[in-house]
Each structure stands twice: as C-alpha cells, then as structure tokens.
A and B are shown apart, each in its own frame.
Chain A
Amino acid sequence: MALTGRLEDLNLLEILQIIAFSKKTGTLKVESTLARGAVLFQDGVVLCAFSTSATPIVSPLAGMTLNESRALLLQNEIRIALRELIALREGEFEFTLTSEPPTHFEGMDISRFLVAGGVDPQALMLELARELDTARKDSTSLLESAEEMAKHVDSEPIAASTLERPEITVLLVDDEPKVLDIVGTELKRSGCRVIAASSAKEALDQLNKLVDSETAAVLVTDVAMPSSSGDSFEGGFEVIRKLEEITKGRGLAMLITESLSSEARARARKLGVRKVAFKPALTKLDDDEYAADLESFTRILVHELHQLVAGADKSADQPSFAELNDDVLFDFLKTMTEQLRNPNPSIAKMVLRVGAKYCERTVLFSVKGPRAHAFAAFLKGSSIKTATEAVKGLAFDLQTVHPFAEVVYSRGVASGSYDTNALPSDFDRGRAKVYELLPILNNNEAVSVVLCDNPNSGGPVGNLAGLTLFLNQAGMAMENAALNEQLRSVEDRYSLDNQGPLTQEHSRVFRNRRQ
C-alpha cells in the first residue's frame, strides 16, 4: 500500500522520517499550489530530490563528469530541494514503492542525478529539523524585538478605535421561498444584515443597489435557478460573475446547494467562490422536519460565514469584502499589511497598533516550550511601555491553562470567559468578562498568542476579522523574513568562486525567490 495523504495531516519531515525508518525504495511526490517536487529513496536512504526551483539548477549537472565535487553539489541540491518542500504547509503527497531505485522521473532520465550511496537520512533529518528550529527562533526574535521597542517607545498612547465593528451584510439568493425565509431569519438572529433575493435577476438588481450605496456584502447564493435571461438553469453563477466583476475579484461568495458536480465545483472555484455549503434536500414531505434541517444548516452556515469573513479560509489572502464598507479601517489595515513587507520597527508593534483598533487591551505572548510568556502589551489610555510593564513576568503553563493550550495546539482562535476559564490570579482582568485568543503561526506552529479583551468597559470583544487577517499576514511576513535570512546563508554557503555557471544559476534562482 502506498503512503498517501495531505501535508496538513502529516508534515514532510514526518513523512521523510517514516520512509527512512521503513527503509523502503520508491518515489515520494509532493504537490501543492506553491511548489512541487519529488524525493527518491533506496532502502530509506535519499538518492535524489527535486523541487520547483531546484530543477533548473540541477540540469547543468547532467553534463558534468562524475567526480567528488559533482557528488557534493548533488548532495547540496537534495538539501536545497528538501528545504523548499519542507516549508510547504499544505498540499498532497504520495509515496510509491518500487522494487529498484527509480532511474526516470516524469520521463526524464535522472540516473546521473542520483547520489551514489545516497545521503544519510538521520543526519539529513537532524540538519533540516535544526534549520526549521532556527528559522522559527529567528521569526520569534522578530516579534520579541517589541521588548526592546517597549523600553524606548515614547509615552504617547495609541489612540483606541472608535470605529464601529464591521457588520456582515449577506445577500441571500435562492428561488426556494422556504430557504429564503428560514435561512434569512436565522442569519438575522445571528446578527447578520440580510438582503434577500428570490431570483438571479433580483440578485443582480440588489448587487447594483449595493454598489450605488457603497455597501459591501457577502454573497450567499443557490446555483440551480434560472438565469436572468432564462437561457440557463445555473443563475447562481451569473450572480457570482457579476459580484466578481464589480468587486474586481475581491468579493466574497459562498454557494449553498443540494449537490454539486465536479465540473460545477471547478467552475465555482474559477469564479472565486471560497466556500460551498450543502443545504438539506427539498425532498422531505414533512414541512417541520425540513424547517428544522434548514435551521441546523443555517447554524453551520453562520459559522462558515464567520470563517470566510475572518479569512480563516486559507485561500482568502485578500481583505474581506465585508470590511470594504469601512474605508478607514480598510485603508489602515492595507497600510499596515504593506508595512509588513519591511517590518520596521517591529511586527509586534504593528500587531499592537492593529489590535488597538479592535479592543481595549492586546497582550502578546511568546510560545516557548511548555510556556507562553507575555512580552508586550497595549492598553487603552496607557503607553505601550506602561502596559508592557504591567504584564512583564506573566507566564502561563500550556499544560494547565487550557484556552492557551487550545490555541497553541489547534492553531485556531479560542474564546474564554474569565469566570469559567480563569487565567492565573496574577493576571489583572480589570472589568473584562471574556477574552479572545488568536495565534500567530509560523511554519504551521503557533509562535505567539495574542490576547484581546476589554478591561476598562467590561464589554464583549467584537468581530476580530480584520485582526485575524492581519495576524495571518504577520505570520507570513515572519516566515518570509526567516526564509530570506536562510536563503542568504545558503547562498553564502554554496557560492564557491570556482563553480562558474552553476553558481551563477544558483544565485539567479535565489534572487528570483527573494523577489
């Protein structure tokens, strides 16, 4: 049986360890939207590895005579390729067993690229694990420069936000009246503003009105209904296309459907649909049962909607459409996100500034081993320095403080109530009753946890969609910074003057990757 699965479930380092331990011969293929590659094994030993950017570097080696320096270059090539593949956090993998070491890959004769005797997997895994760890520490230190920042920052408090929390406006389109009625009512009950449309034509009119009033909305639409011209029975796609057109690809659309063919799913993806939710089929004779099913469905739909708007959908790397109606907040987030490309003075300070728009207090915790310790904070009405001083020395044990552990281990957002999920007594909750915890992820691990609460007013924490979106970007910025540093060191390590065109090719690829 071949070993297959997704990198989200089993990361590449673990897969390499499993294959090396089982001492098998075969080819491991890795495919994601960011890169693809392959690792070839003989009896658990790595013979060769390719990745998207490493392949063009390998090609010149085919013409070189077999000697010690070529073998060394091939070994380095394996490391470069694996380094790139290990950085992938999502995608598919498949290990296929073969009886003999592979000599061809995707039609190419690779026999000249195989390292005789292979590379010792134990040393290789150790080296890669160390590099990942160093990259993680580098990125954490980027965050922790806030500690240094806190010592020098002036006492000017960051202005707390007076902006309204963005409300989710939903344009709900379905030609089945019962769906419009029940789903619409439940969405309203969950706090959404609902604009209902019972046909594609009506939905197009509503979209135009939304544009005129500069109101942003999340489109939630059925697929199977007549188009405005009556030419097709996939009117939902017509509405989505219109949304994409008027928002220039930034709109948020979600399909609700009873079933979806693979062709329709592909078409939906192409049109930018981020989520598909399957609604109950209208085949039940019992009205009450159908209504109950629709209510349950809406509860799931609400959850999905919030995920969609919060940017939890991994493909949502653009600001959410629902936030566009708050131009000031959007411009602020846009500016801050752009600044992440050159994080100066520090990512932590930027996180605190964005956090200030969403709640009265933001505390940054660094995750180290079994503990999370506070290293920077913002509190409405105080300077960063004062707020940071107040949380200095505060540390939580991730084995006992459950909401923190949940964020770190699940890598997702967690909510807590100070009454039921009490934090240690040395944490001053003020009048806050609840708190929200959000992770900053680096290489798929939580390196930091952000706590948000309202200790002055005691009010609930509002919609943190924008902050979540920004933290995702901050995590990526840290990864990029660490990766660039790593690439620089690799470039320095392998830039040997006497290797002529190959070195130039390496440099070209590294430069391209850094851009």
Chain B
Amino acid sequence: MKEHRKTPRFGPLVIKTQVNIYGNKREGFLTNLSRAGAFLAIDDPPSDGAHLDVWALLPWRLGELRAHARVVWRNEQEKRDDTTAEIVGVGITFTELEQGSAELLKLYLTRFAELAAQVE
C-alpha cells in the first residue's frame, strides 16, 4: 500500500529521543516520524499545546536532530485490539527544525524509504 500523504509517515520506525518540556528533561521514543512531526512515545505525556525541544541521534551516524515542537494531540491510553499494545504518548508537530536538522531528517527518511523500496 503506497503512502499518499504530503509528508509520508514512517510507522514502525523507532528512534530514542530526549525532550525538554519547560526545563524538565525526559526520555522517550519517536515513531510515526515524518518531516512535519512524529508520535512521541513517553510515559506521563505532556498536555495538549505544550511546547518542547526534541533532540535525537539519527541512526547510521547521520547526525543529530534538533527541533522545537508542539503537542497537537495526546494519547494517555490506547488499546486498539487484542494484538495491539498500549502506546502512551503525544502527537507532535515540528514548529522549527534547527539548522541542518531538516536536511538530515530528509536524508534519513529518504534512505529508510530506499531500503524499504529494495524489498520488492
């Protein structure tokens, strides 16, 4: 099934991240990553509208991702069906990607998509 979104989301992709929520440094995992935002899996998720700084080391030694983000939706508890585990976290949108981060993120997602395309 092809992804037709303007900024395709990379579902099962998981990247460890450190976030700074109003001075409170915490750790979580980014998933559903796209160039516009991500799902941040994190215990005790921040509230809707909260602003946060995101730092992550992109795989394959590409470099670091630094972004400012905002919480756009919140998932305190989710269980879609019997085979789905609960994923607690928040949907975030990147409000600003620091210099170089946008290119690195694009490079990473492109490389991931290329590898996925090899499985044809």
Per-position binary interface string of chain A over residues 48-89, scored 1 when its CB falls under 8 Å from any chain B CB and 0 otherwise = 000000000000000000000001000100000000000000
Residues of A near B41 (CB, < 8 A) are 126
Q: Report A1-29 residues with CB < 8 Å from chain B CB.
A: 1-3, 10, 13-14, 16-24
Per-position binary interface string of chain B over residues 14-25, scored 1 when its CB falls under 8 Å from any chain A CB and 0 otherwise = 101010000000
Interface residue SS majority, chain B: loop
A97 to B10 CA separation, bound complex (whole angstroms): 21
Per-position binary interface string of chain B over residues 50-85, scored 1 when its CB falls under 8 Å from any chain A CB and 0 otherwise = 000001010101001000000000000000111111
Contact status B120-A370, CB under 8 Å = no
Residues of B near A2 (CB, < 8 A) are 119
Segment at the B interface, from A111-119, A196-204, A270-278, A307-315? A111-119
Contact status B119-A1, CB under 8 Å = yes
Q: Which residue of B lies closest to A14 (CB)?
A: B59
Contact status A22-B87, CB under 8 Å = no
A2 to B118 CA separation, bound complex (whole angstroms): 7
Q: Report A380-437 residues with CB < 8 Å from chain B CB.
A: 399, 409
Contact status B116-A133, CB under 8 Å = no
Contact status B64-A370, CB under 8 Å = yes
Contact status A17-B12, CB under 8 Å = yes
Number of B residues, CB within 8 Å of A = 32
Per-position binary interface string of chain B over residues 93-119, scored 1 when its CB falls under 8 Å from any chain A CB and 0 otherwise = 000000000000000000010011111
CB distance from A80 to the nearest CB of B (A): 15
CB distance from A225 to the nearest CB of B (A): 44
CB distance from A462 to the nearest CB of B (A): 30
- B11 at interface by CB-CB < 8 Å: yes
Residues of B near A10 (CB, < 8 A) are 115
Q: Report B28-43 residues with CB < 8 Å from chain A CB.
A: 29, 31-32, 41
Most buried by A among B64, B80, B118: B118
Given A21-B13, A129-B14, A369-B55; A123-B87 close (CB under 8 Å) = yes
Footprint of A on B, CB under 8 Å?
A: 1, 10-14, 16, 18, 29, 31-32, 41, 55, 57, 59, 61, 64, 80-87, 112, 115-120
Task: For the complex of A and B, list the 4 residue pairs with the smallest distance between their C-beta atoms, beginning with the closest.
Answer: A123-B85, A22-B116, A20-B12, A129-B14
